[in-house]
A and B are shown apart, each in its own frame.
Chain A
């Protein structure tokens, strides 16, 4: 099955530093990847859509200069949290479109990375 590898799983950093999170599709090509963020007891909120070879599309309220997304190849997308602050502490998860549901829904199926838990001190 489709696997999306995400790392680091955990990261603790000092306020003001930058943190890079990588998301790789291991056995398929992903022209599009989605980056989500989840605060405690909240839902997954879409931050941005990462497109291979072009600029990412950011959701309203997400600062593109703070959350830098690079999708340089069909198997790798990176999210860099620049000048991180404690309020950026969250669970960041990437996902990629793997293909169509084999059942009757025919829907596109997203597969998720294992997530990266960021703690900014």
Chain B
């Protein structure tokens, strides 16, 4: 069965902290990788795609390790507004649906 695994957390960190999440996937032929953010009782919103060479968007950095089949998300200088559930998602190929991990809950504390 194709799966995406994440540590559910919760991660409770103080403001300003750096926090990292990892996600593993089972299908080595997977083509596309994403991090989504989901607030309570809302739909997931795309945070960032994960590029093969790694990519950064402000305080957020995503990395892909194909050899070990995992992706990571690093959040620097955490803000209270970063509190949410972070879902990794993998697309096996082309026009296939996203397969989501269970999500990692982050709480940033003042």
Contacts and interface: CB of A to CB of B under 8 A. Distances in A.
A108 B95 contact: yes
The interface size bin for chain A is 20 to 34
Contacts, number: 64
A119 B43 CA distance: 17
Nearest to A107: B32
A34 interface: yes
A104 B52 CA distance: 9
Interface in A66-121: 91, 93, 95, 97, 101, 103-105, 107-115, 117
B97 A103 contact: no
B32 A32 contact: no
Contact of B101 (A43, A95, A97, A108): A43
Contacts of A101: 32, 49
Q: Is the interface of A mostly helix, strand, loop or mixed?
A: strand
B100 to A, nearest CB: 5
B80 interface: no
Contacts of B99: 46
A42 B102 contact: yes
The interface size bin for chain B is 20 to 34
Interface in B46-103: 46, 49-53, 55, 87, 91, 94-95, 97-103
20 contacts: A34-B97, A43-B100, A46-B97, A46-B98, A46-B99, A49-B97, A95-B98, A101-B32, A101-B49, A105-B50, A107-B31, A107-B33, A107-B49, A108-B91, A109-B46, A109-B49, A110-B98, A112-B44, A114-B42, A114-B43
Interface of A: 32, 34, 36, 42-46, 49, 91, 93, 95, 97, 101, 103-105, 107-115, 117
Given A46-B98, A97-B95, A107-B49, 7 more contacts: A44-B98, A93-B43, A95-B97, A109-B46, A112-B45, A113-B43, A114-B42
Interface of B: 31-34, 41-46, 49-53, 55, 87, 91, 94-95, 97-103
